[in-house]
Copies of this chain bind each other. A is one copy, B any other.
Amino acid sequence: MKFTCAQSELNDHLAIAAKATSSRPTRPILSYILVVADAATQAVTLTGFDEAIAIATSFTAQVEDSGTICLPAKLWGDIVSRLPKQAVTLAMGGGAMDAFFTVAMTTGKISYDVRGLSPEDYPALPTVEGEPIAIAALSLLQGLKGALPSVSDDESKQVLMGVHLLGGSDAIEFAATDGHRLSVLQSESDTAAESLEVTVPGQALRHLEAMLRTHDAIEPVKVYLDDVQVRFELGARRLIARLLEGQYPNYRKLLPKDFLHQARVDRRVFIVSLERISVLAATKSNIIKIAVASEAIALSVDASEIGSGLEQLPATVQGDAIDIAFNATYLLDGLRAIESAEVELLMNTPVSPAVLRPAQGFAPLGTEPRYLIMPVQIRS
């Protein structure tokens, strides 16, 4: 194996593949990256695989000799990221049996030997074939950005640790809930997706989100499915993940149809005020009270032993006044996931689910991104 490429290219792709390597591997090789250099296609492919998620990514290089090796993701990545931004040559070690799985990396007067492992020991990647569903990268990114904050991190609720994807004739619905809040939003798909109804682990989708953010190709993302796995293909990058098993909760019945109280506020102002009052809320189980009046909403926290805070925000309000309380963190997560300049907070009673959404002129709930949040019951 011998190839030359730009340091920046090697560094970027190595960082992507490394996301799917394990820092506490059950077997040492799961913390390694599989490197495959192909002289015929003049391409290098890097693969990371922790037995739950696999990420493979390819880039163009001057490949002199084809070859393959496994290199330690952390150590190799730490060195590559510090190399000067210029061409770097990687060559597999010489004749001695012992040195065979060593790579010599040279650029200018800098040279590093990195010990690797035989690619024969690298686990086989799962394959997922068939007819793909196509979705624009931006649509997929918006779906993930909206849903991921509501994914549960409670390992005892397996199926809630994922995002539920539900396909239709021209759209995909993304949903996630941890029991305290629920994100539901729809993104257009480029092909029909009626067959799609899966729950994909949040961790895999967080990697996918990071890959999409640095993905600038115009071609849509292809989604391949079988009964147990999903494969996302973004140009020369692929992510494969095992699906979560189990019945996803029937979240649609949680979304109220009508609301008695609606308030429209500037999203940025709402976020900044919440972040500030959270300093006090942190001492009170993170609970903030919201008093909705005719032309303003007032956020307040009363932590009598240390102090209290009151933030008044101008608002356009429909319906009567209402006092309600929320977990500040859940409210902030929802506000940060929404992308509009103004948001609407839709409420019924202090003990029934409220909904945050991009401002829709107080129209009934539709297919816009909806972030349902359970109020916190407080004694008055």
- A positions within 8 Å CB-CB of B: 72, 75, 78-79, 82-84, 102, 109-115, 272-273, 275-276, 279-280, 305-313
What are 5 A-B contacts with C-beta separation under 8 Å?
Answer: A75-B280, A78-B279, A82-B276, A109-B312, A109-B313
Residue of B nearest to A102 (CB): B307
What residues on B are CB-neighbors of A112 within 8 Å?
A: 280, 307-310
Q: Find out whether the CB atom of A311 lies under 8 angstroms from the CB atom of B109.
A: yes
Q: Find out whether the CB atom of B305 lies under 8 angstroms from the CB atom of A115.
A: yes
A309 to B83, CA, bound (A): 12
Q: Which of B109, B272, B309 contacts A111 (CB 8 A)?
A: B309
A284 to B64, CA, bound (A): 34
Q: Which one of A72, A276, A305 has the greatest number of beta carbons of chain B within 10 Å?
A: A276
Q: Find out whether the CB atom of A307 lies under 8 angstroms from the CB atom of B115.
A: yes
Q: Find out whether the CB atom of A110 lies under 8 angstroms from the CB atom of B75.
A: no
What residues on B are CB-neighbors of A75 within 8 Å?
A: 279-280, 306-307
Residue of B nearest to A79 (CB): B279
What residues on B are CB-neighbors of A84 within 8 Å?
A: 272
What residues on B are CB-neighbors of A272 within 8 Å?
A: 82, 84
Residue of B nearest to A304 (CB): B115
Residue of B nearest to A275 (CB): B82
What residues on B are CB-neighbors of A308 within 8 Å?
A: 112-113
A309 to B76, CA, bound (A): 12
What residues on B are CB-neighbors of A110 within 8 Å?
A: 273, 276, 309-312
Given contacts A79-B276, A79-B280, 13 further A-B contacts (CB under 8 A): A75-B280, A78-B279, A82-B272, A82-B276, A83-B276, A110-B273, A110-B312, A111-B309, A112-B308, A112-B309, A112-B310, A114-B307, A115-B306
A164 to B250, CA, bound (A): 71
What residues on B are CB-neighbors of A313 within 8 Å?
A: 109
What residues on B are CB-neighbors of A279 within 8 Å?
A: 75, 78-79, 82
A114 to B309, CA, bound (A): 9
What residues on B are CB-neighbors of A307 within 8 Å?
A: 75, 102, 112-115
A308 to B112, CA, bound (A): 6
What residues on B are CB-neighbors of A276 within 8 Å?
A: 79, 82-83, 110
